Structures are given as structure tokens and as C-alpha cells.
Chains A and B, each alone.
Chain A
């Protein structure tokens, strides 16, 4: 799982880097100013709390408390679903305001990046429900809690990817928009001795 997560770091890193490189290059349509920070802050908090529910599920299973493990597994999946709901609302709002993947560079890079993240969350939700039901037929028990720990690693990874996207793309992006990204570019260029 750690090897897979390492490869996924490169996958999401590429998407985030592409978004950062093309930020400020869109010549038409909505850009960073369309981002709704208060709503996304709530969805970020929901995803963080789903990570807490995930470790509590694992902790319960490792202590042999099946009821606790089931409760927190279901809570994790439900909180993940709430996050997906927020993302669908956000995408619908963007579409209403004229931002789609075909509108401009911001739309392409932002929606592909967050869309792939949402897909990862959706896969995680299916995985969690499969583990939840497997606790009832004895396939998941205290003795093979590693199954849940591996799913937990995946879930926490999805969480940390969102921590980066929320911090770097939403907050820094919407705060500074083009001006500060350009400053950051010049600072980075100075570090590398370019220009």
C-alpha cells in the first residue's frame, strides 16, 4: 500500500503542479475568484473528521470491539459521502457560473485535479462499505485488522491530498490569485538562479 501511495503522490503532484503552472494564464471565463472558501472549509473539516472516524474504527477492531468498529466504519463512509455531496454542489455552482473543463485553463486543471480526488474518495467509500458488511459475515475480525488498516492508509492519503489542495489551491490561490503566484514564481526562479 505504501508503494501505491508513493505512486499516487506523483499522480496528484503532477495534477497540482500543472494547475499551479497554468494559474493566471486563463484569458476568459471565471477563475480563482469563483472559489467559495466558507463552504469548502466546512467540507474540509468533514473530511478531517472522517479521518478521525477511520482511526477510531481501526482502534476499535484492534481491541476486539466489533460494534465500535462497525459504527466508526459507517461514520467514515457517511462523512466521505457528505464531502462528495459538497463537491457535487460546488461543481454544479461552477457550471451555473459558466466554468466547465472546457471553459479555460483554470477550469481544465482545477476540475480534473479535484475530480480525480473526488473519484478517489468515492472508491474509498465503496471500500469502506465492503469492509463494514464483511464484519458481519466474519471476514473482518480482530485477527485480520490489517485489512482495515490498509483501507485506512488509503483513506488518510485521500485526506492529506485534500489538505494540500485546500491550502495551496483554494486558500493561497484565492487569496493571492495571479499576483502572488507570480511573486512565488520569481522567488522560485531566484532559488534556481534562473532569469
Chain B
């Protein structure tokens, strides 16, 4: 019991969770607004990707508490992520090249 209380002592409180959720909602709104803006395609694509990344990291670090958790958990989660993103980029490069 004492161990559990100690392990959760560094979790953020409801106020921070609500602030994070409001930021996530606002970022989603900006994403949708950027989608409908008539801007250079590459700028919009980069804005959308960066906003998605920001939302992703906020949920992982604050809602999933990875910021306060053991680094080994971060390794378990981010190692496959790096592998997967590398594979996706490589596949995209290869297949787009072949089909051209």
C-alpha cells in the first residue's frame, strides 16, 4: 500500500490533466483548420505531421505517465516505434520509387 502510494505520488493532479486535454483539443482544432487553409501543400503536410506528433507525445508523457515512469518502460515502447517508423519510411521510399 505504501509502495503504491509512493509510486503514484509524482502523478500530476486533475488540473494539469484538464489543461493537457484542452491543449489536445486546441491542437486538433488547429489541425482541422490547417487542412482547410489554402496554403502550400508541403507546409500544411508538415504542420499536420508536427501537430500529430505533439499530441502523441503529450498523451504518452502526461496521460500515460511515461515522463515519471521507469526508463525501461520508455525503451519498451519507443524501440518498436523507431523500428516501425524506419520500416514505414523505407517501404514508402522503395515502393514509390518502383511504381514511378
A189 contacts which chain B residues (CB < 8 A)? 93-94, 96-97
Would you call A51 and B21 a contact (CB within 8 A)? yes
Would you call B48 and A167 a contact (CB within 8 A)? yes
Interface of B is mostly: helix
| Contact residues, A127-173 vs B (CB, 8 A) | 143-146, 149, 152-153, 156-157, 159-160, 163-164, 166-168, 171-172
**A49 in the interface (beta carbon within 8 A):** yes
Least Cβ–Cβ distance between A89 and chain B, in angstroms: 18
- Smallest CB-CB separation from B79: which chain A residue? A6
Interface of A is mostly: helix
Would you call B32 and A188 a contact (CB within 8 A)? no
Distance in angstroms between the alpha carbons of A159 and B24 in the assembled complex: 12
Interface string of A13-43 (1 = CB under 8 A from B): 1101100110001000000000001100100
Please pick, from A10, A159, A168, A171, the residue contacting B80 in the complex, using a CB distance under 8 A.
A10
B48 contacts which chain A residues (CB < 8 A)? 167, 171-172, 175
Q: Give the top 8 A-B pairs by smallest Cβ distance, nearest first.
A: A185-B96, A167-B52, A13-B84, A52-B21, A188-B93, A17-B88, A189-B93, A2-B76
Could you pull out 22 A-B pairs where Cβ atoms are within 8 angstroms? Answer: A3-B76, A5-B77, A13-B85, A20-B88, A20-B91, A41-B28, A48-B24, A59-B14, A62-B8, A143-B1, A146-B4, A152-B63, A156-B63, A166-B31, A167-B55, A172-B49, A174-B35, A182-B96, A183-B41, A185-B92, A189-B96, A194-B97
